[in-house]
Chain A
């Protein structure tokens, strides 16, 4: 596997945009996802629909593959808005940007905006992820 470049938390500033990442939503990934979540909804049997949280999970994976966060970092909040149906076989592109990075009361907070488009350029999901990081002088890379 090719090691992708990762950004250290200290390198990031508000407005920083991570390189986009694309995934093809293949049937086996969606099947694994539905099995892991125990989701037996008929909706996914009748049409090749993809659960929006599967799309969100891949957007999160795209983000986490690009940041080196210190041990003890906690994913504290999640906002999501689904903007259209996603189907098995679609290619999604995940974009993310640091929207907030502040120190408060001995903790460091970071929010990242995410936006996912499909192969037609249509936005299918937007969201915001909140992290709390332990306060350290310097984070090891």
Chain B
């Protein structure tokens, strides 16, 4: 499990690193006039937290051969306290690799789902990639 607090300064820095300068993320005055009523974090920033949790669990194997399939449900806003969690749903094994399927979830402090979905990691049992 991973806990993250969404901060506007991180959103601003993420905008620079990802080259996504959509004003809905970084311009408070603009964002106030939209249906979101204020700035929201990039979905990909929140998804990065999910990937970070998976990296913590599976290390380089995740970076090299991870898969994810998620849906963005609710925007994350500056000040939100997010909880990112994962639960193993299925493990299968053959001669060369172990396949681990996890349900992943990111919720805010109100219990609203920000991201939900599934990840797949294939862990090799030998030296070769699965």
Q: Within B1-23, which residues are at the interface with A (CB < 8 Å)?
A: 4, 10-11, 13-14, 16-20, 22
> With A32-B17, A57-B18, A75-B43 given, is the CB distance from A43 to B10 under 8 Å?
no
* Binary B-proximity of A59-84 (CB < 8 A = 1, otherwise 0): 01100110000011011111111111
Q: Would you call B37 an interface residue if the criterion is a C-beta within 8 Å of the partner chain's C-beta atoms? A: no
What residues of chain A lie closer than 8 Å to B35, measured between beta carbons? 72
Is A2 in contact with chain B by the CB < 8 A criterion?
no
The CB with the most chain B CB atoms within 10 A, among A53, A57, A80, is that of A53
B64/A61 in contact, CB under 8 A: no
Determine the distance from Cα of A39 to Cα of B16 in the docked complex, in whole angstroms: 16
**A85 close to B (CB within 8 Å):** yes
User: CB < 8 Å: which of B47, B59, B65 contacts A83?
Assistant: B65
**Docked CA distance A56–B14 (Å):** 13
Give the tally of cross-chain contacts (CB within 8 A).
Answer: 113
Partner of A81, one of B13, B42, B60, B67: B67
Q: Contacts A37-B49, A60-B44, A75-B72 hold; do A82 and B20 have CB atoms under 8 A apart?
A: no
Chain B interface mostly: helix
Number of interface residues of A (CB under 8 A): 37
How many residues does chain B have at the interface if contact means C-beta atoms less than 8 Å apart?
A: 37
| Chain A contact surface mostly | mixed
Interchain nearest-CB distance for A3 vs B (Å): 14
Which residues of A, 38-68, contact B by the 8 Å Cβ criterion?
38-39, 41, 43, 49, 51-54, 56-58, 60-61, 64-65
- Whether B43 pairs with A58 at a CB distance below 8 angstroms is no
- Given A32-B13, A51-B63, A56-B47, 7 more A-B residue pairs with CB atoms under 8 Å apart are A33-B18, A36-B11, A36-B14, A54-B18, A57-B48, A61-B20, A75-B43
Closest 8 CB pairs of A and B: A57-B18, A36-B14, A36-B13, A32-B17, A61-B19, A33-B17, A53-B48, A37-B48
